[in-house]
Amino acid sequence: MTVTLNQAKGPEFTRIYSYGAARGEVAVPNDDLIGPIDSSDEWIRQRTGIVTRTRAVPTTSATDLATEAAREAVERSGVNPADIDLVIVGTISNVQQTPSMAAVVADRIGANPAAAYDSNAACAGFAYAVAQADALIRAGAAKYAVVIGAEKLSDIVDPTDRSISFLLGDGAGAAVIGPSDFAGISPTVWGSDGSKADAVGMDHTLIEFRDGESAWPTLRQEGPTVFRWAVWEMAKVAKQALDAAGIEAKDLAAFIPHQANMRIIDEFAKQLKLPDTVAIGRDIETTGNTSAASVPLAAHRLLQEHPELSGGLALQIGFGAGLVFGAQVVVLP
Which parts of this chain interact with ligand COA (CB under 6 A)?
A: 37, 39, 43, 47-48, 123, 162, 166, 200, 221, 223-224, 226-227, 230, 260-261, 289, 320
Least separation in angstroms between CB 289 and ligand COA? 6
Least separation in angstroms between CB 297 and ligand COA? 14
Please measure the distance between the N-terminal and C-terminal CA atoms of the chain and give it in whole angstroms. 46
Q: 144: closest CA among 14, 252, 39?
A: 14
306 is catalytic: no
Distance between CA atoms of 240 and 100, rounded to whole angstroms? 33
Q: Which is nearer to ligand COA, 47 or 306 (CB)?
A: 47
Least separation in angstroms between CB 218 and ligand COA? 14
H helix intervals, 139-246: 206-210, 223-229, 235-245
Strands 200-202 and 84-90, bridge-based pairing:
unpaired
Catalytic choice (94, 258, 261, 300): 258
Q: Which is nearer to ligand COA, 71 or 152 (CB)?
A: 152
Distance between CA atoms of 174 and 297, rounded to whole angstroms? 8
Count of other CB atoms within 10 angstroms of residue 157:
21
Least separation in angstroms between CB 320 and ligand COA? 3
Catalytic choice (30, 94, 123, 261): 123
Contacts by residues 209-213 (CB-CB < 8 Å, ≥ 24 positions apart): none
Q: What is the residue type of 196?
A: K
Q: Which is nearer to ligand COA, 48 or 218 (CB)?
A: 48
261 is catalytic: no
Distance between CA atoms of 235 and 237, rounded to whole angstroms? 5
Least separation in angstroms between CB 219 and ligand COA? 8
The residue whose Cβ lies closest to ligand COA is: 223
Q: Which is nearer to ligand COA, 179 or 223 (CB)?
A: 223
Q: Which is nearer to ligand COA, 71 or 258 (CB)?
A: 258
Catalytic choice (30, 94, 261, 289): 289
289 is catalytic: yes
H helix intervals, the chain: 34-37, 41-48, 62-77, 101-108, 125-138, 206-210, 223-229, 235-245, 262-271, 284-287, 294-305
Catalytic residue numbers, as ranges: 123, 258, 289
